[in-house]
Amino acid sequence: MSKPCTPKKIRTSSLSVRKSAQSLQQQLSNVCGKPCYISVGDPLRGAKSIPTAYEQAEQALEDRFFYTDIYLYPIHEENSIRQDAHQQDDALMQSVEKAIRYNDAYILKKTIHILFQKYQKKQNQSHIYVRYIFSELAEILYRVLPSCPQQSQQKVVEQIFLCQHFSDIQAIISDILSQVVKKLEDEQDSPKHAIYLVQQYIQNHYEKDLSLERLAEQVFLSPRYLSDLFIRETGCGINKYIKNLRMEKAKELLLGTNQRIQDICKKVGYSNFSYFCRSFRENFGETPDSFRQSAH
């Protein structure tokens, strides 16, 4: 009766089997003239273990989608860390949409690079899920390219679901990305983008002193040119835009909090309480105090 193999011998035997399988794969590929894939399973422990071993082999061969020019499976990955892929992908998609919204080509490219890196090696997800994620990404990117026919967009999505390797999906997304980046970079030099940046700055700093000079510095324009450009692009002067925004913020605080009106005055960027009350009345037809009382 033979002695049971020690763990060390099992590992040596397993390594030997994989080397033999690799040699066999090369010979078969040469004979057939096309790539041949081999899955190496655990040693069989009797006839009952055959169905399980077969399922494991099938699952291992499905990993072909995630790798190019690799023909022996499964691929052993050390120190793999399981994370919630769905939450990660949602966050990355939101980052893509935000980068597009802000015309930030650098962050857009960086985020998509992270997605590529994540799925160059399998992260406990099926290839169907990965195809779905990148088809969603393609649709988000195509929103920046309205001139691209809907029929062409649908064809690209179909191609993603037919790709045999993940590298093929990378190539498709990279091509769309290059078009999007070019469009974003072109728009960064447009007057509309400068006005968009000024509006974003105002919305993020409405509680501070927002002089025309400070706003002009944010977009490297002269104050006079920015003022004229803002009116031309929005139909509204900068001071009026700031006042309307501050009044809306004041209204939200009056309705949604119990803060003192004097404190609200300062929080929306007014240092003069009388001027704040007068401005509020001009906008809403009543004083802040009356507005709060009538709302309750």
pLDDT at residue 3 in the model: 46
Q: Are 253 and 264 in contact (CB under 8 A)?
A: yes
Q: Dihedral of CA 170/173/175/178: which sign? A: negative
pLDDT at residue 21 in the model: 83
Tell which residue, 249, 254, 253, 276, has the closest CA to residue 265.
Answer: 276
Which residues does the chain have with pLDDT short of 70? 1-15, 62-68, 75-85, 121-125, 188-189
How far, in Å, are 24, 30, 162 from residue 34 at the CA level?
A: 14, 7, 20
pLDDT at residue 67 in the model: 66
Rounded to two decimals, what is the model's pTM?
0.51
Q: Dihedral of CA 102/104/109/110: which sign? A: negative
Which domains are delineated in the chain? 7-73 (no CATH), 85-188 (no CATH), 191-295 (1.10.10.60)
For residue 124, the 8-state DSSP code is S
Q: Are 117 and 70 in contact (CB under 8 A)?
A: no
Q: Are 284 and 251 in contact (CB under 8 A)?
A: yes
Summarised one tens digit per residue, pLDDT across range 216-249 is 999 888 899 899 999 999 999 999 999 999 999 9
